[in-house]
Chain A
Amino acid sequence: MSRFSSADYLRPESIDPSAISAWGLLRLRQQLEQGLPLSPRPYQALAERTGLSEQEVMSAITQWQKQGLIKRFGLVVKHRTLGYTANAMVVWDIPDEQVQTLGKAMAGVPFITLCYQRPRRLPDWPYNLFCMIHGTNRERVLAQLDSLIAEHNLQHIHHSVLFSNKAYRQRGGRYVSHD
């Protein structure tokens, strides 16, 4: 797959051979970071705010989904409000040569919602693999963790469980728009 830099998505030719205003596309990304208008013709509303046509707005969104700039398009749920209040970030100190294999294995576990590798920061932070479990109560999350350890033979791997007890902010990333 070809690699795009952030700026490539603003080049008109990455959307369509016909000329679409690069400024219009930037404004569209800024608008989309705030969410879709809740009016009967939301793409027309975005067109009016960005100087693009409704058709250009829809083409750009479709194209960005195909290119992977937009990885999901829909309702962004706030799990904590719904009752997912036991959210654990589990961090592991995995030997470097095993981290990729274990990362991929954990990514396939149904109750693991996020899984990624990050650098260690020794001596304070020895952990290189992160996974998240969104749960409704602690006991259940800890039981799921026990089953994960047993199933993947992680008994000898040093880990730590960081439950979150408060969200000070949770919103979508704003890469090109201002706060």
Chain B
Amino acid sequence: MRLDHTDQQLINHYQRHLPVCERPYLEMSRQLGISEQEVIERLQSLQSRDVVGRVGPVFEHSKAGASLLAAVAAPEEQMDLVAARINRAPGVNHNYAREHTYNLWFVMTAPDNELLEEHLDELEQELKLPMLRLPMVEGYHIDLGFDIDWGALS
């Protein structure tokens, strides 16, 4: 999707360090040289076009609760069905098809490990498919706030 220069500037400046003050969008508008109302409208538009998922915090998963990456090997013709069942399970926030025998990869979160394992056990029983459970051992780099390469996208 092509974005205009101002939308690009919004993303370039505010993937992190969103102002924490009474009128954050007013402060952002001064930085960008547009009105507070335009900042708000542009953020609404970016969200409605699904360019921005949300404005707000990214929580550190190891401190915010429990989370785990899991994968299942679904029969090729049942991928959509199995993916929909996974999405109905509590706390699934990512779910992707990938090119491998283990072809559905998802992340599940819960307030603590006990509940997380319980929810995964229930899902595994429902799906009746081999499931890999891959908790994080150590994160070396986890930050999807990288600078967007607008040139490569145009």
Contact = CB atoms under 8 A, between A and B. Distances in A.
- From DSSP, what is the main secondary structure of chain B's interface residues? mixed
B36 A40 contact: yes
A117 B137 contact: yes
Interface string A28-41: 00001111101111
A77 interface: yes
Contacts, number: 262
A107 interface: yes
Contact of A117 (B107, B111, B138, B149): B138
Contact of B20 (A58, A76, A134): A58
A114 B142 contact: yes
Given A163-B98, A169-B93, A74 B59 contact: no
Chain B interface category by residue count? 35 or more
Interface string B120-147: 0000000000101111111111111110
Given A118-B136, A173-B64, A71 B143 contact: yes
B33 interface: no
Contacts of B59: 33, 69-71, 172-173, 175
A6 B138 CA distance: 18
B87 A169 contact: yes
A76 B83 CA distance: 23
Interface string A64-86: 10011111111111110111100
Contacts of B138: 100, 103, 116-117
A64 B51 contact: no
- From DSSP, what is the main secondary structure of chain A's interface residues? mixed
B20 A62 contact: yes
Given A75-B10, A168-B97, A64 B137 contact: no
Given A74-B17, A116-B136, 17 more contacts: A38-B47, A39-B40, A40-B40, A61-B20, A64-B57, A72-B16, A106-B140, A113-B146, A118-B134, A119-B134, A119-B135, A119-B137, A162-B99, A165-B97, A169-B94, A170-B53, A176-B111
- The 8 residue pairs across chains A and B that have the minimum distance between CB atoms: A35-B54, A175-B65, A107-B141, A107-B140, A103-B140, A168-B95, A166-B97, A162-B98
Interface of B: 1, 3, 10-11, 14-18, 20-26, 36, 40, 43-44, 46-47, 49-61, 63-67, 69, 83-84, 86-87, 90-100, 102, 104-107, 109-112, 130, 132-146, 148-149, 152-153
Interface of A: 4, 6, 9, 32-36, 38-44, 54, 58, 61-62, 64, 67-79, 81-84, 89, 100, 103-104, 106-108, 112-119, 121, 124-125, 128, 134, 136, 140, 160, 162-176, 179
